[in-house]
Chain A
Amino acid sequence: DAKTTQPTSMDCAEGRAANLPCNHSTISGNEYVYWYRQIHSQGPQYIIHGLKNNETNEMASLIITEDRKSSTLILPHATLRDTAVYYCIVRVRTNAGKSTFGDGTTLTVKP
């Protein structure tokens, strides 16, 4: 599985959009981009995934660059409850078991 690079930490004001970047320059053609988040001392929670098109669900939007070497997770209206560690991983879709997590981005939403 390809390696990802994320900033260590980010701050965001409550009610504003939070944009979390991820670099995955060695991604393979059959690898998807997945995002998870982990609120303190809980298990990671699945947010969204995509291959090459932008994706949106009730939690977030995922923007993947045309060359697929980077992506951005967007939380449109961040709340205090969105404070968490956000992980970006890349893997083939049929290999759900072996997800390689980095250290993620700690997002702090401030009032």
Chain B
Amino acid sequence: DAGVTQSPTHLIKTRGQQVTLRCSPKSGHDTVSWYQQALGQGPQFIFQYYEEEERQRGNFPDRFSGHQFPNYSSELNVNALLLGDSALYLCASSGGPRTFLNEQYFGPGTRLTVT
């Protein structure tokens, strides 16, 4: 049973560029959440997708957007990259909000470096 997978593992972008990160949830999970983790800090919630819609959002600007596909996989897009966007981006999956299958399982993350 594959756990949460993310791609790519590492990414280097230049300030002002756009980036797309991808996530496949654990088998049986239909809810995907994205987190940003700066060096030395805990993960910060970006947003959550369920039934292909954004359901909850943390305190992040509109430059951060996402998408969920019918197979429950998800993408995180960041436009107009800033140096401060350099971080580990984590994807977590869980069962839907109407279930109690809501222990979150995290992927290994994508390390984004903005130069």
Which A residues are within 8 Å of any B CB, using their own CB? 34, 36, 41-46, 49, 85, 87, 93-104
In the complex, whether B42 has a CB less than 8 A from a CB of chain A is yes
A85 to B48, CA, bound (A): 24
Q: Is there an interface contact between A96 and B103, defined as CB atoms closer than 8 Å?
A: yes
CB of B4 closer than 8 Å to a CB of A: yes
Check A46 against B45 for contact (C-beta < 8 Å).
no
Taking CB atoms and an 8 Å cut-off, the chain B residues in 54-105 that contact chain A are 55-56, 58, 88, 90, 92, 94-95, 97-98, 100, 102-105
Bound: A36/B106 CA distance, A = 10
Q: Is there contact, CB below 8 Å, between B45 and A41?
A: no
B45 touches A103 (CB 8 A): no
- Count chain A CB atoms within 10 A of each CB in B40, B41, B43, B106 and give the residue with the most: B43
Tell me the minimal C-beta distance from A21 to chain B in angstroms: 17
Contact at A96–B104, with CB atoms within 8 Å?
A: yes
Enumerate chain B residues within 8 angstroms of A93, measured Cβ to Cβ: 100, 102
User: A100: which B residues are within 8 A, CB to CB?
Assistant: 45
Give chain A's interface secondary structure class: loop
In the complex, the answer to whether A97 meets B106 with C-beta atoms within 8 Å is no
Residue positions of B touching A, CB distance < 8 A: 4, 31, 33, 35, 40-45, 48, 50, 55-56, 58, 88, 90, 92, 94-95, 97-98, 100, 102-109, 111
| Chain B residues in 8 Å Cβ range of A102 | 42
Do A96 and B94 touch across chains, with their CB atoms under 8 A apart?
A: yes
The contact of A97 among B43, B45, B88, B98, by CB within 8 Å, is B45
Tell me whether A94 and B100 are in contact in the complex, defined as CB-CB below 8 angstroms, given that A42-B109, A43-B109, A103-B42 are known contacts.
yes
Contact of A104 with B42 in the complex, beta carbons under 8 Å: yes
- CB of B25, distance to nearest CB on chain A (Å): 12
6 closest Cβ pairs, A-B complex: A96-B102, A43-B106, A97-B48, A101-B42, A96-B94, A97-B33
What are some 12 contacts across the A-B interface (CB < 8 A)? A34-B103, A36-B106, A41-B88, A41-B111, A43-B106, A95-B56, A96-B31, A96-B104, A97-B97, A100-B45, A101-B42, A104-B42
Residue of B41, B88, B106 contacting most chain A CB atoms (<10 Å): B106
